[in-house]
Amino acid sequence: MTLSVAEAVMTRRSVRSFLDKPVDLETLTRVMDQARFAPSGCNFQPWEASIVTGEPLKELQAKMKASPPQDPQEYDWSAPNGSPAHLARLHDVSERIYGAMGVAREDKESRRAFMANNIVSFGAPAVLLCYFPRFMGPPQWSDVGMWLQTVMLLLRGEGLDSCPQEYLWMHARLIKEFLGVSDETHIFFCGIAIGYRDEQAPINNFERARIPLDQQVKFLGF
């Protein structure tokens, strides 16, 4: 599969239903090796990760299913909720997701069941688990984000799909313990579900919304 950079960007989406089809180690190794060249301020390269599949992944997911969300949380992701404009974007994507599945707003049980699918990464056969040293500051968080985007675009180039999962931070300490990563020295950031999208699943086909370019970017001096 050959995609241009633009095609990789425009066809990448958060896939929430995967085929029962394994991802081979050679492909993942190639992707991760190429992703090493993502942008990195001062060349700090703060990112670290483990990619889990097969029986170890099933074991980890079983542990998460059996455990309550950790308290306190690993970090706070909810600050944008205080902005009406940003909260409206969250509500919009929620309506699109549940609308694609025909789940009504008042059907709380079905919504909870769907959210619980995060634990099993929506059936993805492999999951990248990303963490980095706690002393890293906001610029390095940005570096990690650029690295993760690079990984996801390279996955598209290999015909694979993904879904970034900050949701897994709810079990950050459990995940780090499972991986042998120190909770004292490292913060867990997110997972990335990796696999082949189910093209027929409505959840993978709803129209994605983005705000107009002129609300985000200014061009000066042209």
Q: Which distant-in-sequence residues (6+ apart) come within 8 Å of 146 by Cβ?
A: 38, 39, 40
Portion of the chain with pLDDT greater than 90, in percent: 86
Residue 160 CA to residue 146 CA, distance in Å, equals 18
Buried b (16+ CB within 10 A) or exposed e, 45-57: bbbebbbbbeeeb
Give the CA distances from residue 32 to residues 48, 62, 88, 123, in Å, rounded to whole numbers and listed in that order: 11, 27, 35, 21
- Is the Cβ–Cβ distance between 194 and 125 less than 8 Å? yes
Altogether, the residues listed in the chain come to a count of 222
For residue 77, what pLDDT is reported? 86
73 vs 204: CA distance, rounded Å = 29
Specify the CATH class of 5-70+119-206 in words: alpha beta
**Which residues, listed in sequence order, are joined to residue 53 by a DSSP beta bridge?**
126
Task: Provide the sign of the torsion angle of the four alpha carbons 188, 197, 123, 154, taken in this order.
Answer: negative
Task: Give the type of residue at 193.
Answer: A
- Is residue 26 within 8 Å of residue 141, measured between CB atoms? no
Who's near 49: CB < 8 A, 6+ residues apart? 32, 128, 129, 130, 131
Residue-wise pLDDT for 39-80, tens only, equals 999 999 999 999 999 999 999 999 999 999 999 999 998 899
The pLDDT tens digits for 135-164 are 999 999 999 999 999 999 999 999 999 999
Q: Which two tokens stand for residue 51?
A: 């990619």
Could you tell me the pTM of the whole model? 0.95
